[in-house]
């Protein structure tokens, strides 16, 4: 029995250095983890941080709005850079299709509405990887708007600009976007256009500040 007891004590003393080493290892690991934790806590997170993704797209867009109780149709383009699938930055431009006609704007002279506008846009994107997600485009820039003699009803020699002006605009909006395919998306939405310095003799600035309803077809690397 005495021999057995002596053997157990020798075994325990031999294991002690291992325990001490394990405890030291645990302490080193904890300190290292603690330092890493504090180091990460002080790191600034950016759009181009870990997991950065860059994409881009080009799009054609069609808009419908009202002007002096007439429906106006616009066609345009959009192109942008997509950062981390959360923000798009780019350029856009839209032009009026001359379908809105105005009779007797001047005596015996009918007119059509012409014009266009364009600038830069920012478009925050929520849940881009989901089949249906939401975007919030905001655009700003400059444009031109005017009344032109209706070439269908007036003599060719009488065709000229009747009234026109240039303006600034800001246009915030919201859209529901659908992922049709990996490189193709459709956006349906609405926006509100606000203008500045638009001064027409035959229209007020508010006539061009109605709601827009748009359809956008996007092609690119999302």
Does the pLDDT at position 17 exceed 70?
A: no
Rounded to the nearest integer, the mean pLDDT of the chain is: 84
- Report the range of poorest mean pLDDT among 80-84, 91-95, 100-104, 127-131: 100-104
Does the pLDDT at position 100 exceed 50?
A: yes
pLDDT in tens, 159-174: 688 999 999 999 999 9
Query: Within a 13 Å sphere around the CA of 22, how many CA atoms are in the beta-carbon half?
Result: 5
- What's the length of the chain? 222
With cut-offs at 50, 70 and 90, classify the pLDDT of residue 4. very low
pLDDT on residue 36:
54
Does the pLDDT at position 89 exceed 70?
A: yes
Does the pLDDT at position 37 exceed 60?
A: no
pLDDT on residue 5:
46
Query: Is residue 216 exposed (0-12), middle (13-18) or buried (19+ Cβ within 10 Å)?
Result: buried
pLDDT on residue 20:
47
pLDDT on residue 29:
53
Q: Which residue has the higher pLDDT, 66 or 19?
A: 66
Residue pair 43/71 in contact by the 8 Å Cβ criterion: no
Summarize the confidence of residues 4-24 as an average pLDDT.
Answer: 48
Domain ranges of the chain: 1-42, 54-221
List all residues 6 or more positions away from 47 whose beta carbon is below 8 Å from its beta carbon: 83, 84, 86, 87
Does the pLDDT at position 206 exceed 50?
A: yes
List all residues 6 or more positions away from 175 whose beta carbon is below 8 Å from its beta carbon: 134, 135, 136, 137, 187, 188, 189, 190, 214, 216
Does the pLDDT at position 13 exceed 50?
A: no
Region of 218 on the Ramachandran plot (φ > 0 left; ψ -120 to 50 alpha; else beta)? beta
pLDDT on residue 43:
56
Strand pairing category for 87-97 and 109-126: antiparallel
C-alpha distances in Å from residue 2, one per residue of 10, 12, 89: 13, 16, 84
Q: Where are the alpha helices (DSSP H) in the chain?
A: 2-41
Region of 3 on the Ramachandran plot (φ > 0 left; ψ -120 to 50 alpha; else beta)? alpha
CATH of 54-221, one of 1.10.3720.10, 2.40.160.20, 2.40.30.330, 3.40.50.620: 2.40.160.20
* Global pTM exceeds 0.85: no
pLDDT on residue 8:
46
């Amino acid at each position: 029995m005495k021999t057995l007891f002596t053997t157990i004590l020798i075994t325990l003393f031999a294991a002690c250095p291992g325990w001490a080493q394990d405890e030291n290892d645990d302490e080193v690991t904890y300190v290292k983890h603690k330092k890493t934790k504090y180091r990460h806590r002080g790191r600034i997170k950016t759009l181009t941080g870990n997991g950065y993704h860059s994409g881009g797209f080009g799009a054609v867009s069609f808009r419908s709005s009202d002007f002096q109780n007439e429906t106006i149709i616009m066609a345009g383009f959009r192109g942008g850079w997509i950062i981390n699938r959360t923000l798009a930055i780019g350029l856009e431009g839209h032009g009026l299709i001359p379908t809105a006609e105005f009779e007797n704007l001047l005596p015996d002279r009918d007119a059509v509405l012409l014009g266009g506008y364009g600038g830069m846009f920012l478009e925050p994107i929520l849940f881009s990887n989901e089949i249906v997600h939401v975007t919030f485009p905001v655009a700003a820039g400059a444009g031109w708007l005017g009344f032109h003699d209706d070439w269908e009803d007036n003599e060719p020699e009488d065709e000229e600009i009747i009234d026109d002006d240039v303006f600034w605009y800001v246009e915030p909006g919201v859209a529901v976007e659908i992922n049709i395919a990996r490189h193709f998306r459709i956006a349906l939405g609405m926006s509100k256009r606000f203008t500045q310095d638009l001064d027409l003799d035959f229209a007020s600035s508010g006539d061009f500040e109605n709601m827009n309803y748009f359809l956008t077809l996007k092609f690119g690397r999302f």
